[in-house]
Amino acid sequence: MIDSSILQGKKAAYFTLGCKLNFAETSTVAQELQRYGVTKAQKGETADICIVNTCSVTEVADHKCRQAIHKLVKQNPGAFVVVTGCYAQLKPQEIIETPGVDLVLGSNEKGNIIPMIMDKMTGAHTVRTAEILNFAPSCSRGDRTRYFLKVQDGCNYYCTYCTIPIARGRSRNGSIESLVKQAEQVAADGGKEIVITGVNIGDFGHTTGETFLDLVKALDNVEGIERYRISSIEPNLLTDEIIEYCATSKKFMPHFHIPLQSGSDDVLRLMKRKYDTALFRHKIELIKSLMPHCFIGVDVIVGTRGETPEYFEDAYNFIKSLPISQLHVFSYSERPGTKALEIPYVVTPQVKKERSQRLLALSEEKLKEFYTSQIGQVRPVLFEHAPKSKPMHGFTDNYVKVEIPNNPELDNKIITVTLGDFNKEGDALCAK
Ligand code: SF4
């Protein structure tokens, strides 16, 4: 039997790196610890417990994790320091040898972090990185009005550049019944918008024999939730049926985030992605034919091994030709243990930078074009809290950022507005 009184009155500091999923998980741990009487250490206070939720997507991410751990250990002498997440799963020994670290928990233990902290606070330094089988449920409120509901974890794909399947384990998910209950709880707490998150959400259902479309339909019926956004979904798993369903649903927003990674079929083959550019174009065109005002964000990686100048030009031209709204551009980073390292052609850092800049400029053009096409449109906006002296912002159903003068009464309200011109900063449209 674990004695939970050990936590009562303690102060905790949290540090999260990486994806939305990590942020959702840290926020869930913080909420749970609060139930045991642990409060968040405020600025200037020394924490008794430090939790670092790490990422390992690039070598830079690993470096940032190490820096964060050193900083927390230094700022909070004597604190019980727990490190979890992808970096902890991949390099547990490296972390446990870091002075000041008490507990290293891999992805499988994330859901048991609190009992493990209670158990170990009096014990020795421990590493637990078992085979990853557990699904740790997580639903958190972001800084803004949105909630992030984790529906799936892990990945069964083996894209040649990616370490996520090793760091987060095989694909697994919560049951539709449990996820609907979590969404109902969000509605009971006054939440209006949920972002459905996971590592490879389209692959939902391995644990329970259900499908992502079943989940979408079930969530659509939850009373009180007015908006859902589907976070990044693999193009081959974004079925035509899901697109068609979203086009008729009032709650699933006209907004998709789809990883393309490369617009060259040759590079896609080297990456071992499960689609080609023809399939990707079909998905984008279907979305646009059913939802002409849909916002489509696309992930791209530049400078992967094998991306010759010709392949990059093919990719650039393909991306340019698509009616998409924004690009999220990532520079390829070599990861130990990945198959991509067997590809001999290496892109220099300078070329990577130039390619990244070209795609970022293209993204800016696309975003501006999309926003300009929305001027004069009448669209619903969910407004978010802002400090008194600052203008308020919110997002339309199709993910256009909108600015209005501050009005606290509109906080967390959905109001239909006519979209006017760009604001001063050029990053939002003003409501007329
Ligand atoms: S789909 Fe590919 S890139 Fe995405 S997590 Fe799985 S292996 Fe990594």
The per-residue pLDDT for range 169-218, each reduced to its tens digit, is 899 999 999 999 999 999 998 999 999 999 999 999 999 999 999 999 99
Would you say the CB of residue 392 lies under 6 angstroms from ligand 1? no
Would you say the CB of residue 157 lies under 6 angstroms from ligand 1? yes
Residue 114: the pLDDT is 83
Mean pLDDT of 26-32: 85
> How would you list the strands of the sheet with 326-331, edge to edge?
255-261, 295-302, 326-331
Supply the mean pLDDT for the chain: 91
160 CA to centre of ligand 1 in angstroms: 9
167 CA to centre of ligand 1 in angstroms: 11
Would you say the CB of residue 306 lies under 6 angstroms from ligand 1? no
- Which residue among 55, 162, 206 has the greatest number of ligand 1 atoms within 8 angstroms of its CB, and so is best to mutate? 162
pTM comes to 0.81
Same domain, 85 and 207: no
Domain annotation covers residue 386? yes
Domain end: 108, 128, 148, which one?
Answer: 128
Domain annotation covers residue 39? yes
Same domain, 167 and 44: no
Express as a percent the part of the chain with pLDDT over 90. Answer: 68
Given a cut of 80, whether residue 143 has pLDDT beyond it is no
Same domain, 122 and 153: no
Residue 124: the pLDDT is 47
Domain end: 128, 157, 178, which one?
Answer: 128
Same domain, 308 and 284: yes
Would you say the CB of residue 56 lies under 6 angstroms from ligand 1? no
Residue nearest to atom 2 of ligand 1 (CA): 159
Domain annotation covers residue 93? yes
Same domain, 385 and 310: no
Would you say the CB of residue 199 lies under 6 angstroms from ligand 1? yes
Domain annotation covers residue 218? yes
Residue 36: the pLDDT is 85
Same domain, 26 and 122: yes
- The pLDDT tens digits of the residues spanning 333-358 come to 988 889 999 999 999 999 999 999 99
Same domain, 90 and 148: no
Angle of helix 176-188 relative to helix 212-220, nearest 10 degrees? 30
Same domain, 64 and 201: no
Residue 6: the pLDDT is 76
Express as a percent the part of the chain with pLDDT over 70. Answer: 95
- Which residue among 159, 234, 270 has the greatest number of ligand 1 atoms within 8 angstroms of its CB, and so is best to mutate? 159
Same domain, 236 and 362: yes
Given a cut of 90, whether residue 311 has pLDDT beyond it is yes
Would you say the CB of residue 164 lies under 6 angstroms from ligand 1? yes
Same domain, 299 and 314: yes
Same domain, 362 and 382: no
Domain annotation covers residue 236? yes
Domain end: 128, 147, 167, which one?
Answer: 128
Domain annotation covers residue 133? no
Number of domains in the chain: 3
Between residues 56 and 240, the one the model is more confident about: 240
Would you say the CB of residue 86 lies under 6 angstroms from ligand 1? no
CATH of the domain at 12: 3.40.50.12160
Distances in whole angstroms, Cα of residue 239 to Cα of each of 196, 272, 294, 392: 16, 20, 16, 36
- The pLDDT tens digits of the residues spanning 35-68 come to 888 999 988 899 999 999 988 877 788 888 889 9
What's the chain look like in SS3? Answer: CCCHHHCCCCEEEEEECCCHHHHHHHHHHHHHHHHCCCEECCCCCCCCEEEEEECCCCHHHHHHHHHHHHHHHHHCCCCEEEEEEHHHHHCHHHHHCCCCEEEEECHHHHHHHHHHHHHHCCCCCEEECCCCCCCCCEEEECCCCEEEEECEECCCCCCCCCCHHHHHCCCEECCHHHHHHHHHHHHHCCCCEEEEECCCHHHCCCCCCCCHHHHHHHHHCCCCCCEEEECCCCCCCCCHHHHHHHHHCCCECCEEEEEEECCCHHHHHHHCCCCCHHHHHHHHHHHHHHCCCCEEEEEEEECCCCCCHHHHHHHHHHHHHCCCCEEEEEECCCCCCCHHHHCCCCCCHHHHHHHHHHHHHHHHHHHHHHHHHHCCCEEEEEEECCCCCCCEEEEECCCCEEEECCCHHHCCCEEEEEEEEECCCCCCEEEC
What's the domain range around 416?
378-431
- The pLDDT tens digits of the residues spanning 226-238 come to 999 999 999 999 9
